[in-house]
């Protein structure tokens, strides 16, 4: 059983790297080497987990901390969804780190950036593998505390102004999260995800839990930047250095999307009293998120602001898949309805991992564009096609993938979602999804035509001999574009993996059995625990 417990290294490795690089503060080369070794080790570990989970009939890796049985102990779980997210996240972090080795300003490269990077990664991976809601809250807080400090690397006035907004929003969200967790525990007596899923499958969720679960949608929706909780993001990501913006764009909102799938598809997707309330909210929010987001992107005229707002519009597709994945499809027979829901969730998973890679890649491209031209304002740059044709080529591939042109990776996720939208007769939602894709293409072509195709107008216009060293940046961008191309050209393989992960989420009994064992705890263990608490706290009156 020892290999099962190796999944705890997804927390231990980045935590150790964070501590070591903190002790090596100021030693830039040592920090870089230690960090690179930790990231490569993490990639190998992620590859092992992905292979193990999807080999043969599939496995779910479970480690119970201290050998305490679930749901009373702390469960760490790697199922299909967690394995996919960790694997893609590991590659994204490695690419960003390579970019930072050459492109991050020397003032930050040997300081606290390195430990913050690894602690952020620790929180992200812990979020993916935790098996209970309270430890999800703890993982979120570790991730967010690291992001607060990384947010102000550079300490420009614009960064500091937006940092206050970012911190306050997340503090409110964290307060709501821990409050909801407490209320949910008081109602059903457990925070273990498998145990809550078991209760939902048995139809034993109390009616009083519905408002609490709806509040969780607000908590995770704020972290994912869905409508109308997106107001913090457009003015935020473009103020940071490109490397930090790329890391945040590739990870943070995707952690929120992962959590929405884990909570509302796996845990509560079988509870019709919950889904009947949430599905209309989710689908309406998906429409406004994707369409209003892309309208905002089309209206912008700076590269990083366009890319920042596109994060919002792309989240709309993820939300669309989640809504279709838990919708009650009355127009289809039960098996066809189950297949449609499974494909919708698989499309959402495929789209999330595609977006993690492509969105991070585009932010890094934007950073190199700024290094070449001295600005990312489309009126002040141009001629980059002649100056750096490789950057122009890689940017074009990533941009067309984001827009969803075949045979690139963005097409296949959108195709599945649009197909299942039609299948479930969500025609208005599907029409907005198609329109959003077309407007995304328009905004990407705007960046291409102004930044690469039009005549030179940046600072290199008068100094053509001045060329920044972009070797590390180009390596990282090429790595991400290569991953995106494999997702497009090998889409069937990625979709098969996504579908297998989705099957465990839509029908979560294997997850429940893997975590709780064949002998499940009593269905009403919450009431038993409550009765024991009352017995332990009875006041015994003693007569002198």
Query: pTM of the entire structure?
Result: 0.91
Per the CB < 8 A criterion, the answer to whether 34 and 105 are in contact is no
What does the angle CA 147 – CA 313 – CA 486 come to, to the nearest 5 degrees?
80
Give the whole-angstrom CA distance, residue 4 versus residue 61: 5
> φ, ψ for residue 192 (rounded to 5)?
-70, 130
Q: What is the pLDDT of residue 347?
A: 95
pLDDT at residue number 372: 85
CA distance 226 to 285: 7
Confidence at residue 57, expressed as pLDDT on a 0 to 100 scale: 67
CB 98 within 8 A of CB 247: no
Q: What is the chain's mean pLDDT, rounded? A: 87
- In 3D space, the residue among 399, 407, 322 whose CA is nearest the CA of residue 366 turns out to be 399
The arithmetic mean of pLDDT across residues 13-19, rounded, is: 95
Angle formed by the axes of helices 113-129 and 133-151, to 10°? 160
Give pLDDT tens digits for 290-347: 999 999 888 888 898 899 898 999 999 999 999 999 998 877 788 888 999 999 999 9
Q: How far apart are the first and last CA of the chain?
A: 58
Q: Tokens standing for 436?
A: 């959003």
In the predicted structure, residue 502 carries a pLDDT above the cut 90:
yes
pLDDT given at position 3: 78
Residue 448 CA to residue 249 CA, distance in Å, equals: 20
Percent of the chain whose predicted confidence (pLDDT) is above 70: 90
């Amino acid at each position: 059983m020892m290999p099962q417990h190796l999944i705890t290294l997804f927390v231990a490795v980045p935590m150790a790297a964070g501590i070591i690089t903190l002790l090596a503060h100021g030693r830039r080369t040592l920090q870089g080497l230690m960090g690179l070794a930790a990231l490569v080790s993490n990639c190998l570990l992620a590859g092992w987990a992905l292979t193990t989970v999807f080999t043969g009939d599939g496995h779910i890796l479970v480690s119970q901390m201290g050998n305490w049985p679930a749901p009373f102990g702390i469960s760490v779980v790697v199922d299909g969804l967690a394995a996919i997210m960790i694997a893609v996240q590991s590659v994204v972090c490695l690419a960003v780190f390579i970019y930072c080795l050459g492109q991050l300003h020397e003032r930050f490269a040997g300081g606290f950036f390195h430990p913050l990077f690894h602690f952020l990664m620790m929180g992200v991976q812990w979020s993916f593998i935790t098996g209970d809601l309270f430890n999800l809250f703890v993982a979120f807080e570790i991730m967010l505390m690291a992001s607060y400090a990384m947010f102000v690397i550079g300490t420009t006035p614009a960064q500091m102004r937006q940092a206050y907004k970012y911190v306050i929003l997340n503090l409110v969200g964290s307060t709501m999260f821990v409050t909801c967790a407490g209320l949910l525990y008081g109602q059903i007596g457990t925070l273990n995800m498998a145990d809550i899923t078991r209760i939902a499958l048995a139809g034993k969720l109390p009616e009083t839990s519905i408002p609490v679960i709806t509040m969780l949608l607000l908590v995770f929706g704020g972290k994912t930047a869905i409508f109308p909780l997106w107001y913090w993001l457009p003015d935020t990501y473009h103020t940071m250095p490109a490397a930090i913006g790329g890391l945040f764009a590739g990870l943070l909102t995707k952690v929120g999307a992962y959590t929405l799938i884990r909570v509302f598809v796996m845990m509560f997707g079988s509870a019709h009293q919950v889904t009947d309330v949430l599905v209309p909210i989710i689908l309406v929010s998906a429409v406004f998120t994707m369409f209003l987001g892309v309208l905002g992107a089309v209206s912008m005229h700076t590269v990083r602001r366009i890319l920042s707002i596109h994060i919002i519009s792309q989240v709309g597709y993820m939300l669309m898949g989640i809504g279709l994945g838990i919708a009650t499809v009355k127009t289809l027979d039960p098996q066809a309805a189950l297949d449609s829901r499974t494909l919708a969730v698989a499309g959402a998973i495929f789209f999330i991992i595609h977006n993690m890679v492509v969105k991070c890649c585009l932010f890094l491209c934007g950073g190199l564009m700024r290094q070449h031209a001295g600005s990312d304002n489309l009126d002040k740059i141009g001629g980059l096609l002649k100056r750096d044709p490789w950057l122009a080529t890689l940017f074009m591939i990533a941009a067309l993938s984001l827009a969803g042109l075949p045979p690139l990776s963005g097409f296949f996720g959108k195709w599945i979602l649009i197909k299942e939208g039609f299948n479930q007769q969500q025609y208005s939602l599907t029409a907005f999804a198609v329109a959003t894709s077309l407007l995304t293409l328009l905004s990407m072509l705007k960046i291409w035509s102004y930044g690469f195709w039009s005549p030179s107008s940046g600072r290199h216009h008068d100094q053509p001999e001045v060329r920044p060293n972009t070797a590390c940046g180009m390596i990282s961008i090429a790595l991400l574009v290569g991953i995106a191309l494999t997702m497009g050209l090998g889409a069937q393989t990625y979709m098969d993996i996504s579908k297998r992960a989705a099957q465990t989420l839509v029908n979560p009994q294997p997850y429940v059995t893997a975590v709780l064992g064949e002998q499940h705890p009593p269905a009403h263990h919450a009431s038993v625990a409550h009765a024991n608490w009352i017995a332990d706290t009875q006041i015994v009156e003693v007569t002198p």
